[in-house]
Structure 1
Amino acid sequence: MLSAFIVLGGLVAFLTYLSAKSHNNRVVANPDINYLDPVPLTTASLVLGIGLGGFIDGIVLHQILQWHEMVSNRMPPVTLTTKSVNMFWDGIFHLFTLMVVFTGIILLWKLLHRENIDRSGKILAGGLLAGWGLFNIIEGIIDHHLLKLHNVKEVTAHPGFWNFGFLGISVLMLLMGYWLVNKKRQIPADISR
């Protein structure tokens, strides 16, 4: 059930490695240009976006709209017992999103005293948006399609429509976040300030 968080953790580590390698290659190729490092803020905002995306999913779709619960496709919440089981797994889900948010906050806090990093609002916003989209895509593929734990909207004649629509919107969020981060990252430090 928590496999989406394991996959997301591995993906963030891999993307951080690729971003750091790309930044280092850019610095080596252009030693006369003073580049600020975008990787730490990109990583921190991506992690924070994953956690916040999970909270938004849990608060809006699980609690306010009550479209689904964590295991509502496997165990419909029609009795007090099945409702309690779903609520328990929603709580575990929220605990993990809280841990991811704390991790993102710690990563941001560690950036306070570093001077060689890019502190662009576009990188922050892009990372948050990309992290949210990434959370939705991984969680949607694993929980909605592979494990079939729940659908985006359980009580509907066409749950597949909602599941694929959720993924489509999430891909757009990821692409928009990626665009924002990369738009800023292509500007050297000399001319970006």
Structure 2
Amino acid sequence: MTRVDRASLVLGLGIGGFIDGIVVHQLLGWHHMLSGWYPDDLHVNMIGDGLFHLLCLLLVLTGVVLLNRSGPRPARVLWGGVLAGWGVFNIVEGVIDHLVLGVHHVRHGPHEMAYDLGFLVLGAALVAAGMAIGKVRPASGARR
């Protein structure tokens, strides 16, 4: 993996976290970061969400620094890595927070396992799409 691939992957992890936090936590209101452990404590959940967003910001800033140091690359490498990073975020967060620790679920209620599994499927699809888009193609006439 080249430095730009790592940079875009780290950037995608942070962006994926922001998308999850902004859309699922704040706009849809399906859960907060710690709502599985502290379902009735909005203050603790807001602090958990804030720490989560701070981690996402640190990932994005780290990705930008790495990208700045790596030199020019095709846009498909950047955006493929960002998609793959978002997918890795979904898979790691979905397995650890949703399934193993039960910190929260994508959407609490009677179909929470279906939402959690859908989140993992979306993550796998994003990784696959990102890898396909970001694949570095050999130059014309180059050997494989």
Shared fold per TM-score greater than 0.5: yes
Question: Please, which of 162, 177, 185 is the counterpart of residue 115 of structure 2?
Answer: 162
Q: Give the letter aligned to residue 137 of structure 2.
A: Q
Q: Which structure 1 segments of 5+ residues have no match?
A: 1-18, 20-38
Residue aligning to 2:75: 121
Give the Å deviation of 1:189.
7.5
Identity value in percent: 44
Give the AA of the match of 1:41. Answer: V
Alignment length (residue pairs): 142
Give the C-alpha shift of residue 190 in structure 1. Answer: 7.4
Q: Which amino acid aligns with 1:124?
A: L
Structure 1 letter corresponding to 2:46:
M
* Shift, 1:147, TM fit: 0.4
Shift of 1:179: 1.0
| Counterpart residue number, 2:12 | 49
1:69 is aligned to 2:32: yes
Deviations 1:70-129, CA, capped at 9 Å, x for gaps? 11112113xxxx000000011110111111011001111113xx4xx6x11111110000
Structure 1 residues 189 and 45: CA distance shift in structure 2, 3 A: farther
**Matched residue SS, 1:59:** helix
TM-score (norm 2): 0.93
1:187 aligns with 2:141: no
Task: Provide the C-alpha distance between the structure 2 equivalents of 1:63 and 1:180, rounded to a whole number of angstroms.
Answer: 30
**How much does 1:138 deviate?**
0.3
CA RMSD of aligned residues (A): 1.5
Unaligned runs of 5+ in 2: none
Q: Where does structure 1 differ by over 2 angstroms across 4 or more consecutive aligned residues?
A: 188-191
Q: 1:190 to 1:43 in 2, by over 3 A?
A: farther
- Match of 2:91? 137
Q: Distance in 1 between matches of 2:141 and 2:8?
A: 23
